Structure formats: C-alpha cells, structure tokens
C-alpha cells in the first residue's frame, strides 16, 4: 500500500496566496490515487466515502509520514466558532495554533449522471449545498480560498459534467456570485480532474474555490 504513495505529484512552482492549499490538495489527490490502487470499495454515501478517505488515509499515521503531511491535520464534521457551518473536512495548519480561524475547509458532495442540467440533481446540490455555503458565509474563509471534492458515483464524462455545473451557475444560481466559472487547473501533475473557480461572498469580498473530482464509479460497494 504505502510503497505506491507518491509525495511529488504536485508542481511546487506556485508562489501565490493559495500555494499552501494547492500542496495540501495534491496530498489529498495522492491519497485518492492510493485508494484506487488498493481497490478500496466505498458505499454510495457522501459521509461513507469521506470517512474512508479521511480515516484510512488522511489521518493514517503511516500515510502521513510517507506523504510528508505532518504540517497539517484533518478533522471531520467540525462545528465552526464564527459561522453556522459544520464542515465536512477542516484542514488545520501550523498557523491555526497562532490564530484559531486560520484553517481551510473541504466540502464533499456526490455527483452522478442523473438530471445533470436540472435544478434538483446532484450537480445542483453541488452548488446549493456546496459552492453557496462559501459565498453565503455558511462556512468561513479565512484565507479566501477553500475546496470541494466531488465524489463521482456513476460513470460520466467529468469535464462535460463540469460544463453542466457551469451552465447551472450561469442560469439558475445567481447567489453563487460567480466571477470566473469552474476552469481546469494544472498544478497537480498526472491528475486531470482538478479545477478552480472565483466568486464573491455576501459581503462582496472575493474568494476562490478549488474543485477535485474523484471518480469512484468503479469502486461502489453493492
């Protein structure tokens, strides 16, 4: 298991504000790749997939050592002090020990191939109970950058599905305050399905959201 871990799957040239978060996201992707290599079976359930990723990999001491993750801690279902949100995954950095609000948030959502352009499908839920949780300040954003993980649970074209989410952002969810649609990024070598978007919160303050799309469609337990 651990011999397949690769801590070098990110481009370290990023020096802008979100550079640390991009490194963190590269570690999360490395854990996802290890899950696939291990043939891990997960339930068709958001919390079940998240907990497998979190407990067996992001919080696994041996994985953390192999991936050089000692600078960060990952908590689940954390109630925030200064907002009403309960975060899926909170990422604590060394700065958190100096200023308690200085952490990142990862929101997890399932995605499937049903009603991908409708306002009641999982793509719409990805926006309503994902992106808008940041723009409405339901979740805090100390660094003005946070992330989402889309758990793909049925076969689909991930890039095309991302276009469907963008269409919904443009046509049906003005409260997402989208300044730049979800656009493919390139800071994680060897991982195609990572993106970023730009928004403004309810106080009209800019924030960025990174998006990781993890395909578990072949790993769903019956």
Specify whether the CB–CB gap between 83 and 105 falls below 8 A: no
Task: Determine the pLDDT at residue 101.
Answer: 86
Distance CA 216, CA 161 (A): 15
H-helix or E-strand spanning residue 105: strand 103-111
In three-state secondary structure terms, 179 is strand
Cα(137)–Cα(177) distance, integer angstroms = 12
What is the C-alpha separation between 88 and 204, in angstroms, rounded? 25
For the chain, which residues score pLDDT lower than 50? 7-16
Count of helices and strands (H, E) across the chain: 6, 7
User: What is the model's pLDDT at position 17?
Assistant: 56
In a 3-state reduction of DSSP, which class is residue 124?
helix
pLDDT, tens digit, for every residue of 154-203?
999 999 999 999 999 999 999 999 999 999 999 999 999 999 999 999 99
2/111 Cα distance (integer angstroms): 29
**pTM of this prediction?**
0.92
Cα–Cα distances (Å) from 71 to 64, 68, 93, 96, 110, in that order, read 10, 8, 6, 11, 28
Alpha carbon distances (Å) from 67 to 23, 24, 53, 127: 11, 10, 14, 31
pLDDT of residue 80: 78
Residue 12: the pLDDT is: 34
Domain extent listing, the chain: 20-215
- The DSSP bridge pattern shows strands 73-79 and 86-92 to be antiparallel
């Amino acid at each position: 298991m651990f011999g397949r871990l690769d801590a070098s799957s990110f481009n370290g040239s990023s020096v802008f504000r979100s550079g640390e978060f991009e490194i963190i996201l590269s570690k999360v992707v490395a854990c996802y790749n290890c899950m696939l290599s291990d043939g891990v079976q997960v339930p068709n359930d958001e919390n079940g997939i998240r907990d497998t990723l979190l407990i067996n990999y992001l919080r696994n001491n041996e994985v953390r050592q192999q991936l050089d993750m000692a600078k960060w801690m990952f908590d689940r279902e954390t109630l925030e002090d200064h907002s009403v949100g309960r975060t899926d995954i909170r990422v604590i950095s060394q700065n958190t020990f100096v200023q308690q609000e200085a952490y990142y948030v990862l929101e997890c959502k399932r995605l499937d191939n049903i009603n991908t352009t409708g306002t009641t499908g999982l793509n719409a839920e990805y926006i309503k109970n994902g992106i808008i949780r940041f723009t409405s300040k339901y979740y805090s954003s100390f660094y003005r950058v946070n992330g989402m993980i889309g758990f793909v649970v049925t076969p689909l074209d991930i890039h095309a599905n991302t276009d469907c989410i963008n269409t919904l952002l443009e046509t049906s969810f003005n409260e997402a305050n989208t300044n730049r649609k979800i656009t493919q990024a390139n800071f994680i070598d060897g991982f195609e399905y990572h993106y970023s978007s730009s928004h403004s919160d309810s106080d009209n303050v800019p924030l960025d959201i990174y998006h990781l799309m993890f395909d578990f469609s072949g790993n769903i337990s019956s």
